[in-house]
């Protein structure tokens, strides 16, 4: 046999052997490629499961937040029944799950159906139960693909039942039905000597047991309950007021700011008019509407005193400075504690001053400041007024203009005049300007609670008859955040009307047996 013939046989033999090897290796290659395809399908299914698992919570929360938001903005009205609200929320959940899974599944290989989405209340999580929702649904996944070495075709049924905790769902019911304060009684306040001009004037009323029945109040020890209002047709509108002293079943003092336009039935001939005081609220009022900074032209109750002179706002013509202070035990070591008005530039003081001078323990006066020390006192400018130290008094200085005398008055906290006088010093030629409020303890124990500046006027008030059911109501501020069940703002109640779905019906229908109720709704 020729060598070439042997070579041909050998090569042919090798080709035959190789063909077997090639088929084997090709089969193995396809097998590896199929395994990659199967892993890809498995990955897609895992992705679907992950998406379902993670997005379900979000879909549920999303559905509640969206429903609540739509009710808040009026896009939806409150549902008639809990079942209606439940169906609506379920439809949103199903829609969201569907969208979420659609974005994951490859429709040519993997498809799915979602059935029987339902939500139900949870009652077994204690005080947190109203925040939980039980969600059930059934998802079926199909997958089918032709592989290189065959087919893969299967389906997987995934039943889901889980408790989803909701957090930070806005309370649409609270927004649409904010709680209100209303009052049972109103009492007429007659205002006299009210100037016939367009300006605002500050004055006060005094309540005591002879003109005011504290028993009519919801809570007599709570001054927050008081409101001062003006009458405008059928409406009653809040006026700026501040209660400087509140003593249930005793004497209380309320400062008010108003213009003649705020007075009901203002009579320009005898300068009288009417405002009203409200009391007897439907619930214990926790929110004060007092606003001393609005009542007075200037008000400061956070004064820090040290050994040096403290300068505050200016006092203008036709204004009266009120300082609620206690001079203490006239305890001075380096000088005399004083408070009042300092006219800068020419160093004039118009002050109340406490100290011992020739055996007198309390002094007032207009004093020409000539040196660096308050020891240089011209005693002729001072008048002894009595010993108004050791207690808090309201020290008032009224300044009309430089051609009129300066009024000095001391009131106790009930606004009873303890002393009243006017200076004899002629200010006419003194060219006073930049009149600032000054306070100086001079190492003594002067305490100042508040300082106020108001207009000078002769307005007086008396209280008149009491009437029932005033028109005034006040929406209780619900705060910046209105999350259902927010700690401190809500209380747990065994009433399904205050469950989230219950609130979607305007708290008319119940869902489950527990809920959260906004504290001010009681």
Specify the residue, 101 or 410, whose C-beta has the smaller distance to other proteins. 101
Whose CA is closest to 463, among 99, 133, 266, 206?
206
Give the end-to-end CA distance of the chain in Å, rounded to a whole number.
116
Residue with tokens 């306040």: 189
Mind giving me the DSSP string for 263-316? Answer: SEEEETTTTEEEEEEEEEESS--------HHHHSSEEE------SSPEEEEE--
103 contributes a contact to other proteins by CB under 8 A: yes
Specify the residue, 171 or 320, whose C-beta has the smaller distance to other proteins. 171
Is-contact 321 339, C-beta < 8 A? no
Contact segment (CB under 8 A) with other proteins among 135-143, 149-157, 364-372, 479-487 equals 479-487
CA torsion, ordered 231, 232, 238, 244, to nearest 10 deg: -40
Binders of other proteins among 457-476, rule CB under 8 A? 475
Contact segment (CB under 8 A) with other proteins among 7-15, 135-143, 202-210, 503-511 equals 7-15
**Which one among 84, 144, 178, 318 touches other proteins, defined by CB under 8 A?**
178
Q: Which residues are registered as beta bridge partners of 135?
A: 119, 162
Where b means 16+ CB within 10 Å and e means fewer, 323-340 reads bbbbbbebebeebbbbbb
Contact segment (CB under 8 A) with other proteins among 16-24, 188-196, 404-412, 423-431 equals 16-24
110 contributes a contact to other proteins by CB under 8 A: no
**Which one among 16, 20, 33, 270 touches other proteins, defined by CB under 8 A?**
33
148 contributes a contact to other proteins by CB under 8 A: no
Binders of other proteins among 241-300, rule CB under 8 A? none
CA torsion, ordered 335, 340, 342, 343, to nearest 10 deg: -140
What is the C-alpha to C-alpha distance for residues 521 and 411, in angstroms, rounded to an integer? 42
Contact segment (CB under 8 A) with other proteins among 28-36, 131-139, 279-287, 492-500 equals 28-36
Is-contact 92 67, C-beta < 8 A? yes
Binders of other proteins among 35-94, rule CB under 8 A? 35-36, 39-40, 43-44, 47-48, 50-51, 54-55, 58-59, 61-62, 65-66, 69, 72-73
163 contributes a contact to other proteins by CB under 8 A: no
Q: Any idea what DSSP says for residue 77?
A: P
Question: Residue 121 has which token pair?
Answer: 């209340």
508 contributes a contact to other proteins by CB under 8 A: no
φ and ψ at residue 421, rounded to 5 degrees: -160, 170
235 contributes a contact to other proteins by CB under 8 A: no
108 contributes a contact to other proteins by CB under 8 A: no
For the CB of residue 173, give the shortest distance to other proteins in the complex, in Å: 14
Cα distances from 215 to residues 181, 220, 224, 299, in angstroms, run 19, 7, 15, 32
Size of residue set near other proteins by CB under 8 A? 59
Residue 208 has a CB neighbour count (10 Å cut-off) of: 15
160 contributes a contact to other proteins by CB under 8 A: no
Show the site string, 480-499: x = touches other proteins by CB under 8 A, - = not: xxxx----------------
Is-contact 183 470, C-beta < 8 A? yes
28 contributes a contact to other proteins by CB under 8 A: yes
Specify the residue, 65 or 76, whose C-beta has the smaller distance to other proteins. 65
113 contributes a contact to other proteins by CB under 8 A: no
Whose CA is closest to 355, among 295, 442, 420?
442
φ and ψ at residue 58, rounded to 5 degrees: -70, -35
Contact segment (CB under 8 A) with other proteins among 13-21, 199-207, 251-259, 310-318 equals 13-21
For the CB of residue 475, give the shortest distance to other proteins in the complex, in Å: 6
162 contributes a contact to other proteins by CB under 8 A: no
Residue with tokens 């009433």: 495
Is-contact 362 356, C-beta < 8 A? no
What is the C-alpha to C-alpha distance for residues 340 and 350, in angstroms, rounded to an integer? 6
Whose CA is closest to 490, among 169, 162, 17?
169
Specify the residue, 483 or 492, whose C-beta has the smaller distance to other proteins. 483
What is the C-alpha to C-alpha distance for residues 151 and 38, in angstroms, rounded to an integer? 10
Whose CA is closest to 149, among 19, 22, 37, 45?
37
Specify the residue, 14 or 346, whose C-beta has the smaller distance to other proteins. 14
**Which one among 206, 400, 430, 478 touches other proteins, defined by CB under 8 A?**
478
Tally of helices (H runs) and strands (E runs) in the chain: 5, 27
For the CB of residue 169, give the shortest distance to other proteins in the complex, in Å: 7
20 contributes a contact to other proteins by CB under 8 A: no
For the CB of residue 284, give the shortest distance to other proteins in the complex, in Å: 22
Specify the residue, 138 or 177, whose C-beta has the smaller distance to other proteins. 177
For the CB of residue 51, give the shortest distance to other proteins in the complex, in Å: 5
Residues that bind other proteins (CB under 8 A): 2-8, 10-11, 14-15, 18, 21-22, 25-26, 28-29, 32-33, 35-36, 39-40, 43-44, 47-48, 50-51, 54-55, 58-59, 61-62, 65-66, 69, 72-73, 96, 99-100, 102-104, 168-170, 175, 178, 475, 477-478, 480-483
């Amino acid at each position: 046999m020729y060598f070439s013939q042997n070579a041909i046989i050998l090569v042919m033999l090798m080709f035959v052997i190789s063909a077997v090897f090639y088929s084997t290796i090709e089969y193995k290659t396809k097998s590896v490629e199929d395994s990659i395809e199967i892993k890809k399908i498995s990955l897609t299914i895992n992705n679907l499961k992950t998406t379902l698992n993670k997005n379900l919570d979000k879909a549920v929360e999303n559905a509640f937040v969206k429903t609540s938001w739509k009710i808040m903005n009026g896009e939806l009205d409150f549902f008639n029944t809990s079942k209606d609200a439940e169906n609506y929320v379920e439809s949103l959940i199903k829609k969201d799950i569907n969208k979420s899974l659609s974005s994951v599944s490859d429709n040519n290989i993997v498809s799915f159906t979602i059935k029987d989405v339902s939500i139900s209340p949870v009652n077994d999580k204690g005080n947190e139960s109203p925040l939980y929702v039980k969600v059930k649904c059934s998802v079926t996944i199909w997958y089918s693909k032709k592989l290189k070495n065959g087919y893969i075709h299967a389906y997987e049924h995934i039943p889901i039942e889980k408790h989803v905790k909701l957090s930070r769902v806005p309370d649409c019911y609270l927004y649409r039905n904010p709680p209100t304060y209303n009052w049972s009684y109103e009492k007429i306040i007659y205002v006299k000597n009210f100037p016939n001009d367009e300006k605002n004037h500050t004055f006060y009323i005094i309540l005591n047991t002879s003109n005011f029945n504290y028993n009519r109040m919801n809570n007599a020890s709570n001054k927050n309950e008081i409101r001062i209002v003006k009458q405008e047709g059928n409406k009653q509108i809040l006026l700026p007021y501040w209660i400087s002293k509140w003593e249930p079943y005793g004497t209380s003092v309320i400062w008010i700011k108003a213009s003649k336009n705020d007075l009901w039935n203002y009579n320009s001939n005898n300068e009288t008019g009417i405002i009203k005081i409200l009391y007897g609220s439907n619930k214990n009022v926790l929110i004060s509407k007092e606003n001393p900074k609005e009542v007075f032209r200037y008000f400061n109750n956070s004064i820090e005193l040290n050994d040096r002179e403290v300068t505050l706002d200016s006092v203008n013509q036709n204004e009266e400075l009120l300082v609620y202070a206690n001079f203490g035990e006239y305890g001075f070591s380096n000088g005399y504690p004083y408070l009042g008005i300092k006219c800068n530039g020419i160093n004039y003081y118009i002050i109340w001053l406490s100290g011992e001078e020739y055996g007198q323990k309390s002094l007032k006066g207009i004093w020409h400041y000539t040196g660096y020390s308050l020891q240089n006192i011209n005693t002729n400018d001072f008048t002894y007024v009595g010993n108004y130290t050791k207690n808090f008094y309201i020290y008032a200085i009224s300044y009309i203009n430089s051609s009129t005398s300066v009024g000095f008055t001391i009131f106790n906290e009930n606004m009873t005049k303890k002393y009243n006088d006017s200076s004899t010093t002629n200010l006419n030629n003194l060219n006073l300007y930049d009149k600032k409020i000054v306070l100086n303890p001079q190492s003594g124990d002067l305490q100042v609670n508040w300082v106020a500046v108001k207009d000078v006027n002769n307005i007086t008030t008396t209280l008149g008859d009491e009437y029932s059911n005033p028109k005034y109501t006040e929406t209780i501020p619900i705060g910046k955040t209105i999350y259902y069940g927010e700690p401190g703002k809500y209380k747990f109640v065994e009433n399904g009307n205050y469950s989230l779905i219950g609130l979607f019906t305007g708290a008319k229908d119940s869902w489950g047996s527990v809920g959260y109720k906004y504290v001010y709704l009681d």
